[in-house]
Chain A
Amino acid sequence: MFQTLLAASFAAFPCAQDPSAAPRPTADGPARLEQLEKRLADLERQHSTEVEELRAELERLEQEAARARSKPPPQSASVFNPGITVFGNFLARTDDRPVFVDDDPSAERVDDRFLLREFELDFRAAIDPWADGVLIAAFGAETPGDFSAEVEEGYVLLKKLPLLDTAPAGLKLKVGRFRPALGRLNTIHLHDLPQPSYPRAVQTMLGAEGFVADGVAGQFFLPSPGADDVLEAHLALLDGGNLPIAGGQSASQLGKLARVQWFRDLAPGKDLAVGVSAWTSDTDHALYGLDATYRWKPAVAGEWRSFLVGLEAFQAELDDPALASSPAAFDVWSQVQLERNLYLGGRFDRAEDLADERLVTHTLGLYLTYYTTEFLRFRVGYEHTESDLDHLDGLDTGLFELNFVYGSHPTEPYWVNR
């Protein structure tokens, strides 16, 4: 075959068609001929070895194909089922006095208990090329065994807008039930918090488990000057209920939420995020928030060393004679990574009572967290509370928390990296 190809190549050579066009012999003609002969020999050798190898390869592939044909297809329609993940959170506490659900002395006691606080089932999958679906069902208990089920989040995330090739300002839309971006920690689920519970500021202003609402939310980029700065805006229209400061409000009264966050890469491994949030409703209640988080995590050995410090403050404006006019609350927290799996954290909370802002409660907590892997976490903590409310004043609490994750949830960075 090679000889035939060679003959055809020479036949096609222009000299063969038009002798007058042939180059005149030159002094380096023999050398050039020798070079060409050598090249030809190289090509011939390459060709014959390739043919030989290809024959062997073909034989092997035929055998492989025959083996593959005899096997059933490796996947079934179940691959379209959503990814399922289970999160579990267990808490043991010991207190020096009676403690009640929601700090309400008329409610059930929760001191000195073992408590499987929460189980979450997380289902998520792509719905179609335009949207992803997320459903997070939570089974929570405030007292042992007394579980109640709720949909903590269930939403459709539109990644592409129908009929548009580009998303204006990178707009992303979330429709359903979700944790609105009111402050920094509210969007984080209980099992991902850097402390065993939401800060008192969040609990007082947004609810014991944070603020969850049904509605529509959009997130988009705002113009920002440089590559190291990002300004982002969140706007949401929410149903009106489910916020402690809007206790008397009907769910049908519209709540509006706006948040602007400025993020800056200060230096490699160091960044700062500052956010301002505002919520208003059809009633004259309003809630304003300010939050800031500084993070340090070096590139080299970043899984062994990190530091976080955060601040979150809220101020409410309430138009209800039964409530205080402008109660405020804040928390400051920090976490230092001591080695790959060990973190030391602390938090200071200050919250004014929604009914009477002169009644103030402070809590100081210290926490030591150990991860075997990102899927299993042990945490011990101590909290001391001082308060103008008698049943909380001087309260000392010891805590042990165990958190576990299993299922299709991928290997995720630790909280500090999220």
Chain B
Amino acid sequence: MQRIHRVVLIALLIAIGSERALARPLTPAENKLKVVTTLGVLADFARAVGGDRVEVEALADPREDPHFVQPRPTLMKRAREADLFVELGMGLELWAQKVVEGSGNPRIQPGEPARVVASTGVTALELPRELSREWGDVHPYGNPHVWLDPLNAKDLAANIARGLEAVDAPHAVEYEANLKRFQEQLDDALFGADLVKEVGGKMLTRVARQGRLSAWLAEKGLTGKLGGWLARAAPLAGRPVVTFHKSWVYFAERFGLTIPIEIEEKPGIPPSARRRDSVVELMQARKLRTVLHEVFYATDAAEYLAKETGAHAVVVPIDVGGEGGPKDYFQLVELWLAKLLESESAAPPAK
């Protein structure tokens, strides 16, 4: 029994000693709340809402598939000191729970106020009617790529603000003000500042969510006043594009694109040669110009389609950060629109 006591004592001493050694004096930068997010976009929203009061770090490499990030010990170490942990949820980052478990940080365990699921309350598309692996890598809570719609970005930021307020109540007013400013910037960017000034961002958001923005603007005689991303994306309305994975449904809905087919036969299932041929047939029949493709997937299939049909493979990131990548969410949406407009305005495929 004495040996047990000795071993337990040594273990405790090591643990406490390690903790002391790791606990350095705080510098001004370290007095900030440490926010750890799974994705770069969430980090960007947290910076916008937290302002100078937060120090934010994203765990995933923005060039990496957010479904399959390796839950490495280095990520666990970063999460260990988090005051707030933000994940998107909806089953996108299954690795996040492993990181949290490995971190040994009790503050960010599920159900704690410092654990934020940013997609809470966001209306999901593609909720499966039947849950079966026969449908591939289906997400039980619906398609999780919600941040590709700027209107959802406002909700994600709001949930992050709720989390910051929960762990830092004395500065709640500041977070609310930052959130309001960020949401207004998003409204201006999406609808154009003049229209927002005239009608109000809330009203436009509500009507856009109901899918009747164009009709409503026409009814009110405001069609010509639409600006921002939606005005820029007007030439894309109704244009069909091919995508690799079902990542773009929210983006397509907001900007009026249609996605007649994905290269993947089912989510997460690589395309067979027969599948690729059927995509080629459809693209040729409908003279499709664009294959929209995330940067983290191998581009073989997209390049094959481009070669066979004369369409353009538009390979873009869907996250913020990284060397040479978009610095913030605004740049990310700008990039998507610029690349799509460039591809769609090019000459139609000759084949």
A interface residues (Cβ-Cβ under 8 A, vs B): 42, 45-46, 49-50, 53, 57, 126, 129, 157, 159-161, 164-172, 218-224, 227-230, 232-233, 235, 237, 254, 256, 261, 263-265, 268-269, 271, 273, 282, 295, 297, 299-304, 340-341, 373, 375, 406, 410-413, 417-418
Contact of B268 with A373 in the complex, beta carbons under 8 Å = yes
B residues 141-187 touching A (CB-CB < 8 Å): none
A26–B67 CA distance with the chains assembled, in angstroms: 63
- Residues in B with CB closer than 8 Å to A232 are 73
C-alpha spacing A159/B220, complex, angstroms = 56
Inter-chain contacts of B104 with A (CB < 8 A): 159, 167, 169-172, 219-221
Whether A254 pairs with B4 at a CB distance below 8 angstroms is yes
The answer to whether A297 and B109 touch across the interface, beta carbons within 8 angstroms, is: no
Comparing B116-124, B196-204, B282-290, the segment that makes contact with chain A is: B196-204
In the bound complex, how far is the Cα of B288 from the Cα of A408, in angstroms?
Answer: 39
The CA-CA distance from A224 to B76 in the complex, in Å, is 13
- Residue of A50, A170, A340, A412 touching B105 (CB-CB under 8 A): A170
- The answer to whether B74 and A230 have CB atoms under 8 Å apart is yes
Assess whether A263 is in contact with B72, with CB atoms less than 8 Å apart.
Answer: yes
Output the nearest chain A residue to B22 by Cβ-Cβ distance: A223
Contact A221–B77 (Cβ < 8 Å): yes
User: Contact at A299–B63, with CB atoms within 8 Å?
Assistant: yes
Residue ID in chain A nearest B295 by CB atoms: A300
Nearest chain B CB to A328's CB is how many angstroms away? 26
When distances are taken between beta carbons in the complex, the residues of chain B under 8 Å from A304 are: 298
Contact in complex: B270, A341 (CB < 8 Å): yes
Known contacts A227-B74, A302-B68, A410-B94; A221/B80 CB under 8 A: yes
Q: Across the interface, name the chain B residue whose C-beta is closest to A169.
A: B18
**Is B95 an interface residue, CB under 8 A from the partner?**
yes
Pairwise interchain contact B68-A230, C-beta atoms closer than 8 A: no
Selected from B19, B61, B67, the residue in CB contact (under 8 A) with A411 is B67
**In the bound complex, do residue A228 and residue B198 qualify as a contact, i.e. CB atoms below 8 Å apart?**
no
Given A220-B18, A230-B73, answer yes or no on A299-B64 (Cβ-Cβ < 8 Å): yes
The answer to whether B203 and A46 touch across the interface, beta carbons within 8 angstroms, is yes
The answer to whether residues A53 and B206 also contact, given A303-B68, A411-B137 and a CB cut-off of 8 A, is yes
Judge if B129 is at the interface, Cβ distance under 8 Å.
no
Given contacts A221-B80, A341-B270, A375-B133, contact A50 B200 (CB under 8 A): yes
Taken together as a complex, chains A and B put the C-alpha atoms of A264 and B72 apart, in Å, by 9
Closest-CB distance, B326 to chain A (whole angstroms): 16
Is A300 a contact of B296 with CB atoms below 8 Å? Answer: yes
Q: Which residues of B contact A411 (CB under 8 A)?
A: 67, 91, 94, 137, 268
Given contacts A230-B76, A410-B94, A412-B94, contact A222 B18 (CB under 8 A): yes
Q: Does B347 contact A (CB under 8 A)?
A: no
Give B225 Cβ to nearest chain A Cβ, in Å: 12
Which of B8-16, B39-47, B254-262, B334-342 is near enough to bind chain A?
Answer: B8-16
**Contact code string B58-81 (vs A, CB < 8 Å = 1, else 0):** 000101110110101110111010
What number of residue pairs across chains A and B have CB atoms under 8 A from each other? 160
A219 CA / B295 CA spacing, docked (Å): 37
Q: Interface of chain B, helix or strand or loop or mixed?
A: helix
Given contacts A42-B197, A166-B106, A410-B91, contact A301 B15 (CB under 8 A): no
Pairs A-B, 7 closest by C-beta atoms: A170-B104, A160-B106, A230-B73, A299-B64, A169-B18, A301-B298, A223-B21
B103 on the interface (CB 8 Å rule)?
A: yes
Contact partners of B12 in chain A: CB under 8 A:
168
Closest to A414 in B: B68
Is the C-beta of B274 less than 8 angstroms from some C-beta in chain A? no
Interface residues of B in 205-225 (CB under 8 A from A): 206-207, 220
Q: How many angstroms from the CA of A219 to the CA of B298 in the assembled complex?
A: 37
Check if B74 sits within 8 Å of A417, measured CB to CB. Answer: no
- Shortest Cβ gap from B203 to chain A (Å): 5
16 A-B interface contacts by CB (under 8 A): A49-B203, A50-B202, A169-B104, A172-B101, A172-B102, A218-B15, A220-B104, A230-B76, A235-B14, A269-B61, A282-B3, A297-B70, A373-B136, A406-B133, A410-B94, A418-B70
From A168, A218, A224, A254, B19 is in contact (CB under 8 Å) with A168
Q: Which of A53, A375, A418 contacts B207 (CB 8 A)?
A: A53
CB proximity of B149 to chain A, nearest CB, Å: 20
Once the chains are docked, how many angstroms separate the CA of A160 from the CA of B112? 11
Query: Chain A residues near B64 (CB, 8 Å)?
Result: 299-300, 302
Nearest-Cβ distance from residue B210 to partner chain A, whole angstroms: 9
Q: Are A300 and B63 closer than 8 Å at their CB atoms?
A: yes
Q: A228-B74, A375-B133 given as contacts; is B7 within 8 A of A256 (CB)?
A: yes
Q: How far is the CA of A300 from the CA of B317 in the complex (A)?
A: 10
Chain A, residue nearest B10 (CB): A235
B77 touches A227 (CB 8 A): yes
